[in-house]
Protein backbone atom coordinates (compact mmCIF):
# COMPACT_ATOMS: atom_id res chain seq x y z
CA UNK A 1 0.00 0.00 0.00
CA UNK A 2 1.24 3.50 -0.83
CA UNK A 3 0.49 6.31 1.58
CA UNK A 4 0.33 9.84 0.26
CA UNK A 5 1.11 12.90 2.34
CA UNK A 6 -1.38 15.36 1.00
CA UNK A 7 -3.17 18.58 1.63
CA UNK A 8 -6.44 19.91 0.28
CA UNK A 9 -6.13 19.92 -3.51
CA UNK A 10 -8.77 22.61 -3.64
CA UNK A 11 -6.58 25.03 -1.74
CA UNK A 12 -5.32 28.05 -3.72
CA UNK A 13 -1.84 28.02 -5.25
CA UNK A 14 0.92 28.97 -2.85
CA UNK A 15 2.62 31.25 -5.33
CA UNK A 16 1.39 34.71 -6.16
CA UNK A 17 2.66 37.81 -7.93
CA UNK A 18 3.54 39.18 -4.48
CA UNK A 19 5.80 36.26 -3.50
CA UNK A 20 9.31 37.65 -3.06
CA UNK A 21 11.18 34.79 -1.38
CA UNK A 22 11.34 31.13 -2.32
CA UNK A 23 12.36 29.01 0.66
CA UNK A 24 12.71 25.26 1.26
CA UNK A 25 9.44 25.46 3.18
CA UNK A 26 7.79 26.94 0.10
CA UNK A 27 8.76 23.92 -1.98
CA UNK A 28 7.80 21.45 0.75
CA UNK A 29 4.34 22.99 1.04
CA UNK A 30 3.90 22.93 -2.74
CA UNK A 31 4.93 19.26 -2.92
CA UNK A 32 2.32 18.48 -0.28
CA UNK A 33 -0.24 20.57 -2.10
CA UNK A 34 0.36 18.60 -5.29
CA UNK A 35 0.35 15.15 -3.58
CA UNK A 36 3.94 14.76 -4.74
CA UNK A 37 5.52 13.49 -1.51
CA UNK A 38 4.82 9.75 -1.09
CA UNK A 39 5.38 7.33 1.76
CA UNK A 40 5.35 3.55 1.32
CA UNK A 41 7.74 1.03 -0.32
CA UNK A 42 9.44 2.20 -3.49
CA UNK A 43 12.06 1.01 -5.95
CA UNK A 44 14.14 4.05 -6.85
CA UNK A 45 15.83 4.70 -10.19
CA UNK A 46 19.13 3.77 -8.50
CA UNK A 47 17.76 0.27 -7.78
CA UNK A 48 17.63 0.93 -4.04
CA UNK A 49 14.43 0.58 -2.04
CA UNK A 50 13.06 3.40 0.10
CA UNK A 51 10.17 4.39 2.34
CA UNK A 52 9.88 7.77 0.62
CA UNK A 53 9.41 8.90 -2.96
CA UNK A 54 9.10 12.40 -4.34
CA UNK A 55 7.05 12.33 -7.54
CA UNK A 56 8.30 15.60 -8.97
CA UNK A 57 6.34 15.15 -12.20
CA UNK A 58 3.20 16.05 -10.24
CA UNK A 59 4.88 19.26 -9.13
CA UNK A 60 6.45 20.08 -12.49
CA UNK A 61 3.14 19.71 -14.34
CA UNK A 62 2.37 23.15 -12.88
CA UNK A 63 4.32 25.84 -14.79
CA UNK A 64 3.31 28.39 -12.16
CA UNK A 65 5.16 26.31 -9.55
CA UNK A 66 8.08 25.13 -11.70
CA UNK A 67 9.06 28.62 -12.86
CA UNK A 68 9.64 30.15 -9.38
CA UNK A 69 11.57 27.05 -8.28
CA UNK A 70 13.82 27.22 -11.33
CA UNK A 71 14.24 30.96 -10.82
CA UNK A 72 15.53 30.31 -7.30
CA UNK A 73 17.98 27.71 -8.58
CA UNK A 74 19.15 30.17 -11.25
CA UNK A 75 19.59 32.86 -8.60
CA UNK A 76 21.75 30.59 -6.44
CA UNK A 77 23.85 29.51 -9.42
CA UNK A 78 24.48 33.09 -10.52
CA UNK A 79 25.12 34.20 -6.94
CA UNK A 80 27.89 31.59 -6.84
CA UNK A 81 29.45 33.22 -9.90
CA UNK A 82 28.66 30.34 -12.26
CA UNK A 83 27.50 30.94 -15.82
CA UNK A 84 26.85 27.85 -17.95
CA UNK A 85 26.74 27.66 -21.71
CA UNK A 86 24.17 24.85 -21.66
CA UNK A 87 21.84 23.19 -19.16
CA UNK A 88 21.52 19.41 -19.51
CA UNK A 89 18.54 17.69 -17.89
CA UNK A 90 18.69 13.89 -17.98
CA UNK A 91 15.50 12.19 -19.17
CA UNK A 92 13.03 11.80 -17.85
CA UNK A 93 13.12 13.62 -14.53
CA UNK A 94 15.47 16.41 -15.56
CA UNK A 95 13.78 17.39 -18.81
CA UNK A 96 11.18 19.84 -17.51
CA UNK A 97 13.25 21.43 -14.75
CA UNK A 98 16.24 21.53 -17.11
CA UNK A 99 14.26 23.39 -19.76
CA UNK A 100 12.89 25.89 -17.27
CA UNK A 101 16.27 26.43 -15.62
CA UNK A 102 17.83 27.01 -19.05
CA UNK A 103 15.14 29.59 -19.78
CA UNK A 104 15.84 31.37 -16.51
CA UNK A 105 19.59 31.39 -17.22
CA UNK A 106 19.15 32.44 -20.85
CA UNK A 107 21.00 29.46 -22.35
CA UNK A 108 20.04 26.39 -24.42
CA UNK A 109 18.54 23.43 -22.61
CA UNK A 110 19.03 19.88 -23.88
CA UNK A 111 18.75 16.42 -22.37
CA UNK A 112 20.49 13.09 -22.27
CA UNK A 113 18.56 9.82 -22.46
CA UNK A 114 19.20 6.11 -22.38
CA UNK A 115 19.77 4.13 -25.55
CA UNK A 116 18.49 0.63 -26.22
CA UNK A 117 21.25 -0.83 -24.04
CA UNK A 118 20.41 1.41 -21.08
CA UNK A 119 23.46 3.65 -21.51
CA UNK A 120 23.09 7.40 -21.06
CA UNK A 121 23.86 9.36 -24.22
CA UNK A 122 23.04 12.43 -26.29
CA UNK A 123 20.56 11.81 -29.10
CA UNK A 124 18.09 13.78 -31.29
CA UNK A 125 20.87 15.84 -32.84
CA UNK A 126 21.98 17.35 -29.52
CA UNK A 127 25.69 18.12 -29.38
CA UNK A 128 28.18 19.48 -26.85
CA UNK A 129 31.24 21.41 -27.94
CA UNK A 130 34.60 20.93 -26.19
CA UNK A 131 35.10 23.52 -23.48
CA UNK A 132 31.42 24.28 -22.95
CA UNK A 133 30.37 24.80 -19.34
CA UNK A 134 27.42 22.72 -18.17
CA UNK A 135 24.88 22.75 -15.37
CA UNK A 136 23.19 19.37 -14.91
CA UNK A 137 19.54 19.78 -13.88
CA UNK A 138 17.80 17.04 -11.91
CA UNK A 139 14.42 16.77 -10.26
CA UNK A 140 15.85 14.60 -7.45
CA UNK A 141 19.42 13.65 -6.54
CA UNK A 142 19.01 10.25 -4.88
CA UNK A 143 22.55 8.86 -4.59
CA UNK A 144 24.48 10.92 -7.13
CA UNK A 145 25.08 7.85 -9.29
CA UNK A 146 22.96 8.99 -12.23
CA UNK A 147 24.30 12.54 -12.01
CA UNK A 148 27.87 11.25 -12.16
CA UNK A 149 26.92 9.05 -15.11
CA UNK A 150 25.67 12.09 -17.01
CA UNK A 151 28.77 14.07 -16.00
CA UNK A 152 31.04 11.35 -17.40
CA UNK A 153 29.21 11.47 -20.74
CA UNK A 154 29.54 15.25 -20.93
CA UNK A 155 33.15 15.32 -19.80
CA UNK A 156 33.92 12.62 -22.35
CA UNK A 157 32.79 15.14 -24.97
CA UNK A 158 35.18 17.73 -23.59
CA UNK A 159 32.66 19.74 -21.54
CA UNK A 160 33.19 21.08 -18.03
CA UNK A 161 30.44 20.33 -15.47
CA UNK A 162 30.06 23.33 -13.17
CA UNK A 163 27.40 21.96 -10.83
CA UNK A 164 24.19 20.00 -10.49
CA UNK A 165 20.99 21.88 -9.67
CA UNK A 166 18.01 19.98 -8.32
CA UNK A 167 14.68 20.47 -6.63
CA UNK A 168 15.34 17.72 -4.06
CA UNK A 169 18.49 16.32 -2.45
CA UNK A 170 17.79 12.97 -0.79
CA UNK A 171 21.44 12.54 0.21
CA UNK A 172 21.57 15.33 2.83
CA UNK A 173 24.58 16.70 0.99
CA UNK A 174 26.41 13.36 1.06
CA UNK A 175 26.32 12.57 -2.66
CA UNK A 176 29.75 11.62 -4.00
CA UNK A 177 30.06 14.48 -6.49
CA UNK A 178 33.15 16.33 -7.66
CA UNK A 179 31.18 19.54 -8.29
CA UNK A 180 28.76 21.70 -6.27
CA UNK A 181 25.22 20.49 -5.58
CA UNK A 182 22.56 23.21 -5.56
CA UNK A 183 19.29 21.84 -4.17
CA UNK A 184 16.17 23.61 -2.96
CA UNK A 185 15.02 21.04 -0.40
CA UNK A 186 16.76 18.23 1.51
CA UNK A 187 14.50 15.23 2.10
CA UNK A 188 15.49 12.64 4.67
CA UNK A 189 14.47 9.14 3.67
CA UNK A 190 15.56 5.61 4.52
CA UNK A 191 17.12 3.68 1.63
CA UNK A 192 18.01 -0.01 1.51
CA UNK A 193 19.71 -2.46 -0.80
CA UNK A 194 16.94 -4.80 -2.07
CA UNK A 195 18.45 -7.81 -0.31
CA UNK A 196 18.51 -5.90 3.00
CA UNK A 197 15.17 -4.12 2.75
CA UNK A 198 12.97 -4.53 5.87
CA UNK A 199 9.94 -3.49 3.83
CA UNK A 200 10.51 -6.48 1.55
CA UNK A 201 10.87 -8.75 4.59
CA UNK A 202 7.56 -7.39 5.84
CA UNK A 203 6.00 -8.40 2.48
CA UNK A 204 4.96 -4.84 1.70
CA UNK A 205 4.51 -4.64 -2.09
CA UNK A 206 7.15 -2.53 -3.83
CA UNK A 207 6.16 0.20 -6.26
CA UNK A 208 8.45 1.55 -9.02
CA UNK A 209 6.95 4.96 -9.80
CA UNK A 210 9.87 6.21 -11.89
CA UNK A 211 10.32 5.93 -15.64
CA UNK A 212 13.63 4.09 -16.10
CA UNK A 213 13.20 0.75 -17.92
CA UNK A 214 14.04 -2.42 -16.03
CA UNK A 215 17.01 -3.23 -18.32
CA UNK A 216 18.74 -0.14 -16.98
CA UNK A 217 19.09 -1.89 -13.61
CA UNK A 218 21.06 -4.83 -15.00
The answer to the question of whether 107 is labelled as a binding residue is no
The answer to the question of whether 86 is labelled as a binding residue is no
The answer to the question of whether 143 is labelled as a binding residue is yes
Check if the beta carbon of residue 151 is closer than 8 Å to that of residue 110: no
The answer to the question of whether 146 is labelled as a binding residue is yes
The answer to the question of whether 40 is labelled as a binding residue is no
The answer to the question of whether 145 is labelled as a binding residue is yes
The answer to the question of whether 58 is labelled as a binding residue is no
Which residues, 6 or more positions from 152, have their beta carbon under 8 angstroms from its beta carbon?
none
* Residue 60 preceded by cis peptide, ω within 30: no
The answer to the question of whether 170 is labelled as a binding residue is yes
Which residues, 6 or more positions from 45, have their beta carbon under 8 angstroms from its beta carbon?
93, 142, 146, 210, 211, 212, 216
Classify residue 178 as exposed, middle or buried by CB count within 10 Å of its CB (0-12, 13-18, 19+): exposed
Q: Which residues are annotated as a binding site for 5-phospho-alpha-D-ribose 1-diphosphate?
A: 114, 138-146
User: Which residues participate in the annotated binding site for orotate?
Assistant: 142, 170
Binding-site residues from annotation: 114, 138-146, 170
Amino acid sequence: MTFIISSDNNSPPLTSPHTTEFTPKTLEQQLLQEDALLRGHFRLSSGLHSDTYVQCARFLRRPDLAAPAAAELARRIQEAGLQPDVVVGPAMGGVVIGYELARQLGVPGIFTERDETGQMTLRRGFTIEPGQKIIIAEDVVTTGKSTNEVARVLEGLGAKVLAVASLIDRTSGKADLSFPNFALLPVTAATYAPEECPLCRANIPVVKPGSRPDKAFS
